[in-house]
Amino acid sequence: MNRREFLCAGAAGLAASALGGYVAAAADQKPLRVGLIGTGWYGKADLFRLIQVAPVEVVSLCDVDSQMLAGAADMVATRQASHKKPRTYGDYREMLKEKDLDVVLVGTPDHWHALAMIAALEAGADVYCQKPISVDVAEGQAMLAAARKHKRVVQIGTQRRSTPHLIEARNQIIKEGRLGKIGLVEIYCYYHMRAGEIRPTAIRPPTSITKCGPAPRRCAPTTSWCILGAGARSRNTATASSATCASTCST
């Protein structure tokens, strides 16, 4: 079984443990070499589940937060079969220069998905990227074009597309026309992402943040939002993606 078949076997998503049936068949396979970009909660959750269900060797980790990166490397060493500590990088471009990775997981904040994923494809790796795929349609189109150009396998962590009851609803209710003609669809978010007008004073990122991205360096108006060079904003919580948005570094 090659790595294309390996990733296809996980179509239901790593977090959904869809690779369970693949494990027995791949027990004698040479471990695939894996790298992770973004060692926050989501990145580690995907990586550790992958270690549990498939024959892999985690060889590279990358994050802009050196403290979080070091902690992730120690955790990987205790969890993978070889007990080897992976190489660590503060810049994903340096990690991908090695060109020795079979699979790259992208667990960065949303606005970094496109650059990291495309670079991993160019380095010859197949990619598992956390949702959402991108912050706009143009980025998504570029990512799709790169996957096709380099003939790589890409999976996006939108497990809801593979959830049995939602597939049933789509096939047996929507496609069969039981809802009739749909004229309006409303989508709600059940928490206040921008509640209130009072914003705390901007603060400098932790001293463990040593790398800034290509966006202009400036402070964010709050500690929970990243101000991006393209004018977009992305939610940032250290426990939910990678450590901190690189674009908010102060000079």
3-state secondary structure 24-61: HHCCCCCCEEEEEECCCHHHHHHHHHHHHHCCEEEEEE
The whole-angstrom separation of Cα 178 and Cα 166 is 15
Query: What Rg, from alpha-carbon coordinates, does the chain have?
Result: 19
Amino acid sitting at position 154: V
Q: Taking CA 175 as the corner, what is the angle to CA 133 and CA 179, rounded to the nearest 5 degrees? A: 105
Question: And the tokens for 31?
Answer: 């471990």
Domain ranges, residue 28 = 3-161
Report pLDDT for 209: 78
Average pLDDT over residues 70-97: 96
Number of other CB atoms surrounding residue 55 within 10 Å: 16
Percentage of the chain with pLDDT > 70?
A: 67
Assigned domain for 77 exists = yes
In angstroms, the Cα distances linking 83 to 70, 109, 145 are 15, 28, 37
Model confidence at 238, pLDDT cuts 50, 70, 90, reads: very low
Q: Residue 183: inside a domain, yes or no? A: no
Per-residue pLDDT at 219 exceeds 60: no
Q: Is residue 112 part of a domain?
A: yes
Find, among 42, 36, 158, the residue nearest to 92 by Cα: 36
Question: Is 30 a domain residue?
Answer: yes
Please report the pLDDT score of residue 161 as a whole number.
Answer: 77
What is the per-residue pLDDT for 216?
60
Residue 237: the pLDDT is 33
Of 7-21, 25-39, 201-215, minimum mean pLDDT range? 7-21
> What's the gap between Cα 11 and its chain centre?
15
Confidence tier at 13 by pLDDT (50, 70, 90) = very low
Quote the number of domains for the chain: 1
Six-digit token string for 207: 């001293």
Residue percentage of the chain with pLDDT more than 90: 53
Element (H, E) at 103: strand 103-106
Classify residue 174: in a domain, yes or no.
no
DSSP conformational letter for 13: -
The amino acid present at 70, given as its one-letter code, is A
As beta bridge partners, residue 154 has 127
Q: Given pLDDT bands bounded at 50, 70 and 90, which one contains residue 236?
A: very low
- Look at residue 196 in the predicted model and tell me its pLDDT: 60
Residue 204 has pLDDT above 80, yes or no: no
Length of the chain: 251
Q: What is the CATH number of the domain that holds 94?
A: 3.40.50.720
Strands 225-227, 233-235: pairing is: antiparallel
Reported confidence tier of residue 213, pLDDT bands at 50, 70, 90: low
Residue 86 placed within a domain: yes
Mean pLDDT of 26-37: 85
pTM greater than 0.95 (yes/no): no
Say which residue, 161 or 222, is predicted with more confidence: 161
Residue (of 154, 130, 143, 93) closest to 241 by Cα position? 130
